Structure 1
């Protein structure tokens, strides 16, 4: 018994025709997206530059607030108490001795002078007491120091006027040509311009509160001193005398 040969149902490609596409697969795999890796959350880190900026910002802010608070406190203190610096004036001045002597051996000239001075120191405050340290007094004419002395420490009560009286010891000094010519020029015009310089330190007290000691300089100008004639001492002209008080407050290394 012979086997039957059945013809194939698949058509044979003809010569020159393109190949037939494969039939679609009956078992197509479904689309599954690739899972994403979880993102790790990291804490933000401050850079060195940002830290420096923050430190500078807070430092400047604190400094500004401190200065503002100090200014407000100072304004409130001034409004409540109205503090005033001490006031000085020249009461009298006399040149009690004045002598120019020349040495023939070297043709040098020496000046010997002695002065009597009275100043008034007023405390214009109603609630503050001034405590003065010893006062250094210098009397000058142009750049020449005629005499100097010291006055002891004292206290000036509120609204009080204290008198500072001193008689300087005789001072002898050698004059150069410029100083001698300056003095002779003033003497020909009838007298000497005199400046008074006072240097001391001061403490301000109010009840149990007191400040640190700070320096003051008093400068008195506008004084016309008259040289004595023989034994007659003539008072200086002090009607145009004016005294200025400068506070020398030291903060760290600076003095104002």
Structure 2
């Protein structure tokens, strides 16, 4: 008696045929990260970074203020006192012509600088000195003084000689000549240079200083007069001290 065909074996659940790639399950994809997740992390980092920057800046500012207050309380720095002690015009020749008058002038001027600081020296860079007359319209000469260091509680005198030759209008020359002879000629003296302070083992960088003594009559600048015309000192282009 013959038996019937053998039934095929049943495949177990989850069986995958290695010869059938199409039957393979697709690889699993990672889950999608919400778009706001990375943005929140970046915002949190930026917030922390800016907070630390503000804290560090505030601490540095407080430290700078404390050092400046200690420096001022200990040294009490003061600007130098500068004035024109005397001035003499030793030559004032006017030669009139059709094209204008030729003015030849020679002047000697003494500038006194006082350092009122008891614990600080003052450093002066090369300083230019300019003398003018007729409300600044006529140049009477210019000179340059080399830099130097002034000791504490010291008074330094600088004797400077200048000369100039220029063409001016005839009426201006005649008016200046009359004022020169009567010692009513008004002159202006300007000093431009750098100034800094120096302590024990340290010094500051020089800052620009301008000293202007304007509209001073010759009669006020004679040795026997004993007057010290006030000058204006400008530091940092905006701090003015008389």
Residue 219 of structure 1 is aligned with which of 199, 212, 215? 212
1:95–1:235 Cα contact (<8 Å) kept: no
Q: How many residues align?
A: 200
**Please, which moves more after superposition, 146-155 or 51-60?**
51-60
- Does structure 2 conserve the Cα–Cα contact (< 8 Å) formed by 1:222 and 1:242? no
- Tell me which residue corresponds to 2:10: none
- Alignment TM-score, normalising by the size of structure 2: 0.69
Contact 1:96 1:116 in 2 (8 A): yes
Distance in 2 of aligned mates of 1:243 and 1:172: 27
- Give the equivalent residue in structure 2 for 1:30: none
Question: Aligned with 1:210: secondary structure?
Answer: coil
Q: Distance in 2 between matches of 1:101 and 1:166?
A: 26
| Runs of 5+ consecutive residues of structure 2 not aligned to the other structure | 1-33, 238-242
In the alignment, is residue 207 of structure 1 matched against residue 166 of structure 2?
Answer: no
In the alignment, the residues of structure 1 paired with residue 201 and residue 208 of structure 2 have an alpha-carbon distance, to the nearest angstrom, of: 21
Q: Deviations over 1:214-247 (max 9, x none)?
A: 2221112352026xxxxxxx76967361122222
Cα pair 2:123 2:206 within 8 Å, conserved: no
Match of 1:125 in 2: 117
> In the alignment, does 2:118 pair up with 1:102?
no
TM-score if structure 1 supplies the norm length?
Answer: 0.66
Tell me the alpha carbon deviations over residues 50-109 of structure 1, each in whole angstroms, 9 at most, x when there is no partner: 544544443333323322221121111101111111111221111111122222xx4322
Which residue pairs with 1:172 in the alignment? 165
Unmatched 5+ stretches in structure 1:
1-41, 227-233, 250-256
Higher fraction of helix: 2
Q: CA deviation digits over 1:22-46, x for unaligned, max 9?
A: xxxxxxxxxxxxxxxxxxxx99653
CA distance in 1, matches of 2:64, 2:170: 54
